Amino acid sequence: MSDVAVGLDVGGTKALALLVSRDGEILDELRSSTPHDAQEPAGVATAKVLVSQIETLAQRHGLDPVTLPIGIGMPGMVRRDGRLAFAPNLHSASGASFPELLHDLLGACAVHMENDGNCAALAEFAWGAGQGIDNFVMVTLGTGIGGGIIANGELVRGQNGFGGEIGHMAVEARGALCGCGGQGCWERYASGGGLARLTTQWASEGRLPTLTSRRGSAANVSGEDVTRAASEGLDEAVALMNEVAWWLARGLANLVAILDTGHFVIGGGLSVAADLLLPPARDYLADLVFGYAKRPQIVVTTSRLTVHAGALGAAKVALDRQP
């Protein structure tokens, strides 16, 4: 039985690979861009990037990639058998079985796959901000919104393995179009992609005049410009971040009503702006949560494992599923 595993966290823009020990120590890491190549069969372009990462880590540490436990955290609907049924933010991989692809391309025989939000939740539960908390929701704010639900100390996978797709909960009827084909999905308002969409909208409406002037045109204003300016106290940027925070709170309130959870762990790339988002989001919860005054305090905290959570959780899945 191996005491180390490779954990792969595949997002809409990047793929992070970690070599992880059984106690959660990160021994090595690599980052690569996520390809979006629709010319090759489903998932092949992504699988080639993952194979390169695995081979590099294995070679650096004298490991055999054929027998090395490998876990993959993938955005979207991951079936219990490891096939990616649908990935709104990674269409070129939808339908692919990555355990099969990595076996074909690398000979790897110990590959396990799980939704990336579920992986992050498992890692936080084992080694991070969810330690000792048997009921919490992991919310990953990246290109979209991923999630993982821990209930009574167990990961909620659902009937088909698709549980925890909280980013596709509708928060506005007939709202903004989503990559999943729906409208008004939470991730179109409170993720990194949601911030980018709202930035474009506000700039085009003339609601970001200072940033538009700085950048030369409304089309040049980015979400990164907004977060940077908000951290400097620019009123128009602070107002936009407060708008994102309201939408974040709207989704959290829905989850409280459905799950009766009292604890949220916020991770993903946008969590670097937690100081701008979480204080107003916590305030908004008081008005948005059903029966707020009658509930114990609702805790909204940041990931302790930060950008490593998904890959750490993927490695844990691989280690836990060894025969």
| Rounded Cα gap, residues 34 and 50, in angstroms | 9
CB atoms within 10 A of CB 105: 16
**CA 36 to each of CA 10, 44, 48, 72, 77: distance values in angstroms, whole numbers, following the listed order:** 12, 10, 12, 17, 18
pLDDT tens digits, one per residue of 189-234: 999 999 999 999 999 999 999 999 999 999 999 999 999 999 999 9
Provide the pLDDT confidence category of residue 36 given band limits of 50, 70 and 90: confident
pLDDT at 56 over 90: yes
Q: What pLDDT score was predicted for residue 53?
A: 98
pTM over 0.75: yes
Q: What pLDDT score was predicted for residue 225?
A: 98
Cα torsion 154, 309, 95, 165: sign? positive
pLDDT tens digits, one per residue of 229-262: 999 999 999 999 999 999 999 999 999 999 999 9
Contacts of 320 (CB under 8 A, 6+ apart): none
Q: What's the rounded mean pLDDT across residues 23-52? A: 94
Provide the pLDDT confidence category of residue 89 given band limits of 50, 70 and 90: confident
pLDDT at 143 over 90: no
Sheet holding 14-21, edge to edge: 26-33, 14-21, 4-10, 70-74, 111-115
Q: What is the DSSP letter of 217?
A: S
| Rounded Cα gap, residues 92 and 90, in angstroms | 6
Element (H, E) at 320: helix 309-320
What domains does the chain contain, in order, with CATH numbers?
A: 4-120+308-320 (3.30.420.40), 131-303 (3.30.420.40)
Contacts of 241 (CB under 8 A, 6+ apart): 226, 227, 230, 273, 276, 277, 280
Q: At what angle do helices 235-259 and 274-288 cross, to 10 degrees?
A: 50
Mean pLDDT of the chain: 96
pLDDT tens digits, one per residue of 146-161: 999 999 999 999 999 9
Q: What's the rounded mean pLDDT across residues 94-103? A: 96
pLDDT at 181 over 90: yes
Q: Is 92 helix (H, G, I), strand (E, B) or coil?
A: helix
Q: Over pLDDT 90: what percentage of the chain?
A: 93
pLDDT at 37 over 90: no
pLDDT at 12 over 90: no
| Rounded Cα gap, residues 53 and 231, in angstroms | 35
* CA proximity to 85, closest of 177, 154, 165, 6: 165
